[in-house]
């Protein structure tokens, strides 16, 4: 009964967050001064001077229907919610008309998941390993150096690292290409090597910043746990240091890190906007940037709606599985 009550409350929150997020995504682009239909008509008329007024009006009506801009604002909102919830249809994209937005997302999403998923996991593993060592061996010189480096790295935005990496490893020391080339089709080891080679610099820019945060947080957690009475008691009983770390310190420090990892995995669907632009990376961030520049309502709503679903789902999953990870937590 407690589990059902807990599950019901979390599902209600989950649905509320998604509906609230989708509502904001629907209304905010409509406050933008530009009109995507008029912009598209302007582009078409600039290329052809022979369009009749009747043809322009017919085209305007057709585009309004395709972009979900027909009818009152309330009717547009209800139509948008029905399309997204029941058919996952965001309509066609203005920037690549008449390609559906969901096709563009399906093409870009694997790139973003590959880049941010791998970089997030690598930074989590490295950062927590270094942070655990720095927290337990706090009196060692290398521990203080590692923590100091992490504190210096963490506040620097990831795109600053991206620019530095481009200047050093693509211009001064031209190891990697200055402009990444991801024009590959089909799966082969040669294409895979090309993708990995062109993804090293953007991934490294994200790993450096992410690692700094994990080192700082894990250092604090492990240092506090190392001073707890049950850890001191384990050492007094004569347990080996490796046993103390793996059975007493690590299980109690890694739980919050697992929670944060799950939430960060949810946010990878946002893409890494500036990194993707700098490295010409074909991910979700580039789609969002293109949609904002050209007031592409459907593209903006599609990409951000996917992010809302991902973050809300990650939060729900963490809430549901956390009591299994930490026996101290119960479904209350």
Question: Mean pLDDT per segment of 10 residues, for the chain of length 332 residues?
Answer: 74 85 78 65 62 66 67 77 77 75 83 84 88 82 80 79 82 77 67 78 82 85 84 82 82 81 71 75 80 76 81 79 65 54
**Alpha-carbon distance 119 to 271, whole Å?**
12
Query: Which CATH superfamily does the domain covering 107-293 fall into?
Result: MetI-like (1.10.3720.10)
Q: What is the pLDDT of residue 232?
A: 83
Q: What is the pLDDT of residue 325?
A: 65
Q: What is the pLDDT of residue 201?
A: 82
Q: What is the pLDDT of residue 251?
A: 81
Mapping DSSP onto H, E and C, the string for the chain reads CHHHHHHHHHHHHHHHHHHHHHHHHHHHHHHCCCCHHHHHHHHHHHHCCCCCHHHHHHHHHHHHHHCCCCCCHHHHHHHHHHHHHHHCCCCECCCCCCCEHHHHHHHHHHHHHHHHHHHHHHHHHHHHHHHHHHHHCCCCHHHHHHHHHHHHHCCCCHHHHHHHHHHHHHHHCCCCCCCCCCCCCCCCHHHHHHHHHHHHHHHHHHHHHHHHHHHHHHHHHHHHHHCCHHHHHHHHCCCCHHHHHHHHHHHHHHHHHHHHHHHHHHHHHHCCHHHHHHCCCCCHHHHHHHHHHCCCHHHHHHHHHHHHHHHHHHHHHHHHHHHHHCCCCCCC
Q: What are the structure tokens assigned to 118, written together? A: 């791998």
Q: Please give the angle made by the CA atoms of 154, 156 and 157, to the nearest 5 degrees.
A: 110
Q: What is the pLDDT of residue 106?
A: 84
Q: What is the pLDDT of residue 78?
A: 82
Q: Phi/psi at 100 (nearest 5 deg)?
A: -65, 145
Structure confidence by residue, pLDDT tens digits, 63-73 = 666 666 666 77
Q: What is the pLDDT of residue 48?
A: 61
**Alpha-carbon distance 126 to 135, whole Å?**
14
Q: What is the pLDDT of residue 32?
A: 66
- Residue 115: is it exposed, middle or buried by C-beta count within 10 angstroms (0-12/13-18/19+)? buried
- Among 256, 235, 296, 217, residue whose Cα is nearest residue 35: 296
- Among 255, 285, 245, 247, residue whose Cα is nearest residue 268: 285
Domain boundaries, the chain: 1-99+295-332, 107-293
- Among 45, 97, 62, residue whose Cα is nearest residue 291: 97
**Alpha-carbon distance 14 to 17, whole Å?**
5
Structure confidence by residue, pLDDT tens digits, 270-323 = 657 777 777 878 888 788 887 777 777 778 878 888 888 888 887 788 777 776
**pTM of this structure:** 0.74
């Amino acid at each position: 009964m407690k589990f059902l009550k807990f599950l019901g409350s979390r599902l209600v929150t989950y649905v509320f967050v998604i509906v609230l997020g989708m509502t904001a995504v629907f209304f905010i682009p409509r406050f933008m001064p530009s009109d995507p239909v008029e912009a598209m008509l302007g582009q078409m008329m600039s290329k052809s001077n022979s369009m009749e007024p009747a043809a322009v009006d017919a085209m305007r009506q057709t585009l309004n229907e395709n972009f979900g801009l027909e009818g009152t604002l309330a009717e547009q909102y209800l139509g948008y919610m029905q399309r997204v919830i029941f058919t996952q249809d965001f309509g066609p994209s203005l920037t690549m008309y008449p390609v559906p937005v969901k096709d563009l997302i399906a093409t870009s999403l694997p790139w973003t998941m590959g880049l941010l998923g791998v970089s997030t996991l690598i930074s989590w593993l490295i950062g927590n390993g270094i942070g655990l060592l720095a927290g337990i061996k706090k009196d060692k010189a290398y521990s203080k150096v590692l923590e100091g480096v992490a504190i210096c790295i963490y506040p620097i935005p990831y795109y600053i690292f991206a620019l530095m990496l481009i200047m050093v490893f693509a211009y001064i020391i031209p190891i990697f290409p200055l402009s990444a080339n991801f024009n590959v089709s089909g799966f082969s080891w040669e294409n895979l090597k090309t993708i990995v080679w062109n993804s090293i610099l953007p991934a490294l820019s994200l790993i450096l910043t992410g690692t700094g945060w994990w080192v700082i947080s894990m250092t604090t957690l492990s240092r506090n746990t190392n001073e707890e009475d049950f850890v001191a008691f384990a050492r007094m009983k004569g347990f080996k240091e490796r046993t103390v770390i793996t059975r007493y310190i690590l299980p109690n420090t890694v739980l919050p890190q697992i929670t944060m990892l799950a939430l960060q995995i949810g946010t990878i669907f946002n893409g890494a906007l500036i990194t993707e632009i700098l490295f010409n990376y074909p991910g979700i961030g580039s789609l969002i940037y293109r949609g904002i520049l050209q007031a592409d309502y459907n593209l903006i709503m599609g990409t951000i709606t996917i992010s809302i679903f991902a973050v809300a789902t990650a939060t729900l999953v963490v809430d549901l599985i956390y009591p299994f990870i930490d026996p101290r937590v119960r479904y209350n």
